[in-house]
Structures are given as C-alpha cells and as structure tokens.
Structure 1
Amino acid sequence: MATHLEGSISAYGIVQKLVDQVDLQKGYGYLYTDNAEENALLDFNREKEQPVISKNTLALPVTNYTYDIYSIDGQGIGGTFRPYRGQISEVSDAKVVDQSASNSLGGELELGAGAHVGLNFRTTNSTSYTGKWETTVTPYLKEKTTGNAFDYEKVYFKNNSETTFDNEFVGFSASMGGSKPITLKLDETKSAVNVYRAKQITGIESNLTAGTPFNILQRTHREKRNQVVQKITKAEAKRFGLFPFININGQATFTAPNTVTPIAPGHHTAAFIVTDENGSRHIYGETVYNKTKKEVTFAVGSNAGLSAQKELVTYSEGDNTVKNGKGRTIITMALQHRLMHTLIF
C-alpha cells in the first residue's frame, strides 16, 4: 500500500485607494453662471431628485436656481430685491470622472504526487463620467456676447414689489412653449436635434407638437423699473473713482483713495447703489467680511479621550486637516455677507 503527502497554498489580494485626497472645485453663483467651466459647481437645486431616470419615470425633477434675495433698509427706503438674467441659460452638475483600476493576483502551489504551480494575474481598467448633456441646442443656451443692444443687461436687479410694465414679458414667456413642458426631438440615432416639442393637452389626452426650432431666448432691451439697483465691484469702484464714497472691509479710503485691502479680489462686490423713484441715491459701501470658513467633519477613532464632565473629545494632530482619511474638510474662501449704509444724497 503506497502513501504520499499532498498540500496546497493559495492566496489573493485586493487594494483600493483614492487617487486624490484633495478635491478643489470652483463655484459660480447665479450672477456668474455663464463663466463656469464644465467641472465647476453651480448654484441650483432639484426638487424630488431621483438617482435613476428611465423610460418609466413619470416626472422629471424640477430644477430651480438658488439665487440670493437681498434685504435693503435705510432712510426712506426698504424692501427686498433679487437678481435676474437677461438670457435663459443652462445649469448642470459638475463633470465628474471616475477611473477604476482593478488588479488581482492569485497563486497556487501544490506538492505531492500531483505537484503543480499556478499563477494568475488579471487587470481591469474603466473610465466613466457624468456631466452636462452636450447637444446641438447647447450653443443656443450660452450667453450671447456680441450683437447685443446697447441697453442690454446680462444681469440686473429688481425690487420684488416693482409695479412697472414689462414690454417683453408676453413674447419672452411664450417662447419655447411658454409654461408647457418641452422635450428635445431625437433623430433615428437617438441624438438630439435643434428642435423642441411641447406637450399639448386636449381634454384627457396629451401629445407632442410637431416641433419648433430653437433660438436664443434673450431680452432685446433693458427692463424698465422705477428703482434702480446697481452692483459695484471693487475693480469698478477703482476704475471709476468711487473710492471716496466706498469703503472696503471697513477701511476708510477718504485719505488714501488708492489703498485697497488685499483680502478683496477685484470681482468681489464693493457696494450697492440704489436710486429710488424720487431721485435719492443710497450708497451701501462698507462691506462686512468672513475672511475664511472651515467645515470639518471627521471620526476620532476608538482611542480618543472623552471628558464626560466637559462633553469634549480629544483628537490627534492632523485629524482636523484636509489630509484626514476619516472625514472631510470644506473650506470657503473670503466672502462678504453684509453691506452697511454709508451715504445718501
């Protein structure tokens, strides 16, 4: 009777890690939407957003701009106002590229009568991205920079209680189907063409119209209003010599008009000038700043010290930084959140 010994060894390993631990993204608000790059964050939200959209989805989430609403208060003046854009534009999520590299290595060694050695290596690479849907309609939604009327305003402000008549309202609101939902027309290859179709409801039935070519949806002239609100950036204040009337970050510039506080970039708002129905001009020209803002969220681990009396937890050096692998840090750079009333004439 013959006997023999036989044994085997097998092993495998998987490694996962982040390519970048720090993600830097630019953010653009309502006023500067047209300047955003494809990987920038825009200021909008969606109502009842769904993670997956298919042909069985009954209603798409409603997209809304999250523009700022400003409150104004002063001698003989008050109320709220908000910005408006002179052209209908587009918004989208920032472009995100996901790269995946999966490598697996396996080995086998067996001794005995059926001795053998085996080695297996497998690699799989994939790249996917999400972002804006580029179609033939996209150029019509980009800000038109040439051929505009001399009184065209890309962005303007209007009091919420303004009672003036808008000459362009009827034609502007009726464009692209008015209040009816629309969809892009697709060709035989399922690619969008420069035609939209509006939903037409008749009784209990609904269908799509034949189709209408896209066009730029833009105001041709300045919208009339009784109260004029002008936003002045720091660069404009310096260019047009407004520093005798405007302070930056609480720094008086009457004696040193060419001195500018370094914290404020040129595109930051330095003042609002409001002209009311009586011709009085109010200047809100002193900014109140947040120099920097950090939102840090992280886990401290099971070895963290706990003070029950003070209800405080100790953490290790480096936990509250962007290098922390147990949480995240969001840093918001300098921004102004209030402007003080400095002059009326």
Structure 2
Amino acid sequence: MSNVFRELLKKVGSGNHTGENLTRAEVATATRMMLLGEATPAQIGAFLIAHRIRRPTGEELAGMLDAYDELGPKLQPIAWAHPVIVFGIPYDGRTRTAPIAPVTALLLAAVGQPIIMHGGDRLPTKYGLPLVEIWQGLGIDWTSLPLSKTQQVFEQTGVGFVYTPLHFPLTKTIWEYRDQLGKRPPLATMELIWCPYAGDAHIIPGFVHPPTEAMFRVALGLRGVTKFTLVKGLEGSCDLPRDRTAIIALSVPNAPIEIERLLLAPHDYGFTTKNVPLGSTEELVAGIHEVLAGKSGELMQTALWNGGFYLWQSGICPDMRSGIVKAQELFTSGAVAAKLQQLSKVVNSLFQPV
C-alpha cells in the first residue's frame, strides 16, 4: 500500500462536508502513481469512483494533464502554415450517430491543415465504435505503427493518430478499472483535452454536459493553452449536431479563460435538422466512400456541415458559408479522396520490409 496515495484518497473520498479538492500537483502525483502501478488496486478503484462521484475541478484536470505530458507520447513539431488541430473525442466511441471526424480530418489535410487524433479500441463504458475501426475500414491501420512511423505519416500527409494501446500502454490498467467500475472516471474527461503533440496546437474537444465546458476552460487556462474550440457535439464528440443548434465556445486571444460564444443552427445554412443514425461499421464506411466520391445524401450533408465549420475555424475560409462551398468543391473534385489514397499509400509503405 502507498501511504502517499492513501492521503490523497482520503481527501477525495471524505464526503461533501470533510472532503477536499486536490491541488494540481497532488492530482499529478495521484495520476502518475495510478499509471505506474504504485498505488494498490483497492486504492486505485476507490480513488476513481470517489473522484467520479465528487466530480473534478479544472485545476485537477490540469494536474492529470501534467502527468500525461510527463509519461505519455507526443508527436514532434513540424513546420506548418496553420497550428495543428487536435481532435478530442470520447475513447469509448459512438453507438447512436454516425461519426464524421475521419472525413473532416481528410478534408482539412487536403488543404494543408494538419490534424491529430488519439484513442484506442472498443473500450468501456459504451464499447462504441472507435475512430481506429473507421480508419481500418477505410484501409488505414494505425494499430501496428510505432510512434516513429506515425511521425513519418504525419510529416508526409498531415494526418496523425496516437494509438494509445501501443503508444501509451500505461493507460491500459485504467481501462480495466473503468470496465470493472462501470463508470467513466474523470480521467475520461481529461483525455478529451489531452494534446499528444509537442508543437503549436489548436485543441478541439467535444463535450456533453455544460459544466464540463467550464472545467475545460480552467484547465486549459492553467496549462497555458491559448487556442481552443469547445464543441457540444454528438455523443460528446466534436462532430457538430444537425438536430439542434450547435453550441460552441471559441478561445479569445490574450484572455486564457474567456470565450466567444457561437451558436450555429443547421437550418440557417440549408441543412435538414436530423442526425445520421449509426448502423453497422460496414454501412458507415460505404457511406463515407460515397461522400469521398462526391455523392449527395444525408452523410454528405453532415460532412459539409462539419467541413464548412472546421475550414472556417482553421482559417482556410473566412466564414461558415464559404467553408461549406469550399468543402463541396473539395469533395466533388476528388481532392479528399486523393488525400485518403495518399495516406493509404504512405501507411502501407511503412509495413513493407526494409
């Protein structure tokens, strides 16, 4: 048993009247000890569920990020015209609505906007469809690429994927606890704003509950992150919804925790107000190929809605409407499909014997 961890656990688990918030340094220590197995299984399980019940503070999220930065992987900086976008999407995947983020990534990379994603396999608590399986359906297997080769792919194509089971295996134990507890611990919230990139980045996490947005702002401010976009997206992702007004928070230059509120209604831009339901993975991949071929349909509407927004927010286009027009051009011209072909060629070349 770790007596150091025991004292931290006592603070988190003492209830509403005597419990205490941990400092940033204390949470960094606790996170480090859990990842390295320096706390006992009983201590780790108790800490995770107690912290889940009490809910984390923004300062505590910053401490978790400190530990991830110390122990976790990072893709190295490359000279780009635009800050690298890092999408933060729930690791336990999607179960109800069709994900579009891989298409958005290809679209952005096709016009020189680099993007990084991160995550793993089907994981608790939802065991939903993860990004890595969508990429595999598109012919891109990130699961066997060591970080050095992922770096090569990122440098050549502008698309990177940090696959945590291989690149950050210390997190595996935490996933086992999540399965046993049946609840997401606050580490799952932190993962949305984790940045596995060592250079200038634009952090774009999704979230579900409004209090999470406030925690993100505090944590990112403490960490010195000046460029972020927070999206109340589909199932906690950064995919914009079509069945309701999209609620977005934009960072304000030189004001770390201030935001500019942005509300986008799909019908104002000519989109139908419904989300595309998630069927089988095969159906989704087939639908994505139709989008890449420039074919119209509901998934194309989702791709244009998201593509237009992110082309605007990355500075490629001056506003939302011009972003939507640009996205349409990129799909119909075959530019996004060509980016997928390039990515596939580069990834597959790295599997060939030297």
Q: TM-score, length-normalised on structure 2?
A: 0.23
Which one has the bigger strand percentage? 1
> Which structure is higher in RCO with an 8 Å CA cutoff and minimum separation 6?
2
Which one has the bigger helix percentage? 2
